[in-house]
Structures are given as C-alpha cells and as structure tokens.
C-alpha cells in the first residue's frame, strides 16, 4: 500500500472515523499471499517443465538406494514436510535438521535453514548428492540415471536442444514444479482483503497480540517469513531461557556452519508461518511437538516474555488462520525403461 494512502487511512483514524480492521491491517503492510510465485527470467514456468519437475520430484529412483525422493521429506500430499523431527535419508540415515515445508517455498529470499542456496534451482541440487539425503555420488551420475530411466523425451519437450538432460535442467524443472506449490486463500488472506467474517474474534485478537508483542518484527510480508533485505535472525536471542536447554536449541550454530564467520553464529533463515499449524514438529531441530508450545518457546527465547495461556491460545488461533487451501496433487506416472532394470548403488 502506498505511503499517501497509509497516511490518509491513519488520518481517518486520528479524526475519529471508523475503519474496518482488515483495512487497517492492509494499511500496515499486511497483504494476502499472491496466487502465483515469481520465477527468474532464465527459468519461466511452462507446463512441460512443471510436468517434468513433478515426475522428478516424486521419483525415488534418483537416490542411490532407489528409496528416497524429494517428496519423501517434503510431502506435498500433506503439509509439505515429513512430520519427523529430522528426516530419514538413504540407508535409514537421520538428517541433522527439520525438513522445512515446500509449500510457498518459492517466496523465500533464500533456501535451507542456513540460507546456503539463493534460489529454488540451487536448492534442488543439494539433496541429490548429499550423502545422508539422496546419496548420489555426483551430478554426472544423476544425469546418467535420468537417461537410463527414460526421461530424455520429457527433457526435450521441456527444454529442447540435442542434449537436454543436464543437472541444470533437472534443477530448473524441479524448481518450476515447486513454484506451483502455493496456498493463497487462507482465512487471513480473505480477511485482509476485506471479508470481515473470514477470521473469528479470537483469531483477530491473536493477530493483534502477534503484532503488539513484536512477532511481526521477523515474520513479515505476505509469507509471514523472512525479509529479502534481512533473511536471517538470531535464534535463540535470550540464551538463558529455560527452553533453550530443554529443547537443545543452541546446539546447532545455523548459518555459521556454512560461513564459519563468528557473527553468523545461531543465525537462521526466518521460517514462514504459512500453514504452520499443519507442519509440526517445530524449529530447526524439530524438537517441539505442538504449536502452542512453539508459541511459548518463541515468546521466551526471542522476546524474553512469558505469555498468559489466553495469549497463547489466541495466537495459536491466529496462526491457524494462515492455513490456506491446498491444491489437489495427483501422483505422476514415471517413465519406465523397457526390458531392463536400472541398478542402484
């Protein structure tokens, strides 16, 4: 919303005129989630790329054991994650961090908890060769596997050219599919667009407490997540909170593990609160099982406050209003090599 309009609305309030709460929220910069995610100029979304990316996303044969796909840890048939504290990769290995939801991930300014990937394309290649996640020894092996499985016609349709099966095109296709995974139309979205009855009185009260307490200092914009200009936040801020030791919140040093810079210790990308009610367990280590407890933890570790049970209940109710309708996802038919098997490592 423009500054002149914001000043006009605030002037109306100062003059004693009644203004609907949704309009005030919009005036303060709270916007509905866009219906379409942005795409980079070098990777516009096309139906062929989305179709290919969806198949690749669901195909466990692109892991070293033939058992782990992108969807294994980021289940789009549910909340976009796997419901575990940390994910299970090839050979039953356990990862070190909680799997973030893939729903609305296209709106994040950086990817992964530590922000080590700048784009969905870059992120898509990371798990493939991670020895714990999908475990392929190299991207060259990925390309060989794609050709052996019969993906070349789908790549040619999506990208053209004589040699379309490349790791770069793999990443572009997966990212294109992920850009379709958006969930606009939540009760909050409808409310902020003017449908006053879209949120309950308790949810509106929770929204007001969310703002008043300072939660919006980090969880901002339509994503209720990271700001592009400041995607990271220290966690925990109050290291003496009893929750820090109880849930082991300070064991992982976050972005510092990537950069090794002292100033990056315990910095994490601010997660989205979209659909947070259906993406338990919570935090980078998945140590907190319930949303109400997560609210208490955040108040204590980030704000240095202890909330009343009414405040907790109201904020949880508001966070539930950020759950959008999930589009129906039909599992794809995968290409199958004829007359031979594809061996796994």
Query: Which residues are catalytic, by number?
Result: 133
d(CA 49, CA 32): 27
Distances (CA, A) of 32 to 58, 205, 241: 30, 18, 34
Q: Which residues of 321-334 are buried (b: 16+ CB within 10 A; e: fewer)?
A: bbbbebeeeeebeb
Q: Give the other-Cβ count within 10 Å of 171's Cβ.
A: 23
CA 85 to chain centre: 16
Closest among 275, 52, 250 to 165, alpha carbons compared:
52
Contact 86, 100 (CB under 8 A): no
Preceding omega of 281 cis (within 30 degrees of 0) = yes
């Amino acid at each position: 919303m423009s500054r002149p309009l914001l000043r006009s609305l605030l002037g109306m309030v100062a003059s004693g005129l009644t203004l609907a709460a949704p309009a005030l929220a919009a005036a303060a910069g709270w916007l509905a989630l866009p219906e379409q995610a942005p795409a980079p100029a070098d990777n516009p979304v096309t139906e062929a790329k989305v179709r290919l990316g969806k198949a690749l996303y669901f195909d466990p044969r692109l892991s070293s054991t033939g058992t782990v796909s992108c969807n294994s840890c980021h289940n789009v048939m549910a909340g976009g994650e796997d419901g575990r504290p940390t994910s299970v990769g090839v050979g039953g290995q356990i990862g070190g961090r909680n799997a973030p939801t893939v729903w609305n991930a296209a709106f994040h300014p950086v990817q992964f908890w530590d922000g080590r990937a700048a784009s969905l394309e870059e992120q898509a290649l990371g798990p493939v060769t991670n020895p714990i996640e999908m475990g392929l020894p190299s991207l060259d092996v990925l390309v060989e596997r794609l050709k052996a499985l019969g993906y070349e016609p789908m790549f040619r349709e999506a990208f053209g050219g004589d040699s379309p099966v490349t790791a770069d095109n793999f990443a572009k296709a997966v990212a294109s599919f992920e850009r379709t995974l958006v969930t606009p139309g939540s009760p909050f979205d409808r409310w902020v667009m003017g449908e006053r009855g879209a949120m309950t009185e308790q949810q509106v009260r929770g929204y007001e407490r969310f703002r008043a307490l300072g939660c919006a200092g980090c969880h901002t914009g339509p994503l209720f997540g990271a700001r592009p200009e400041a995607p990271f936040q220290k966690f925990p801020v109050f290291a003496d909170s009893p929750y820090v030791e109880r849930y082991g919140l300070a064991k992982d040093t976050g972005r510092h593990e990537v950069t090794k810079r002292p100033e990056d210790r315990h910095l994490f990308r601010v997660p989205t609160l979209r659909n947070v009610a259906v993406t338990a367990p919570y935090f980078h280590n998945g140590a907190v099982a319930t949303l109400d407890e997560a609210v208490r933890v955040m108040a204590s570790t980030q704000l240095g406050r202890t909330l009343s049970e009414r405040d907790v209940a109201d904020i949880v109710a508001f966070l539930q209003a950020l759950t959008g309708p999930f589009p129906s996802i039909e599992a794809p038919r995968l290409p199958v090599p004829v007359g031979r098997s594809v061996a796994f490592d």
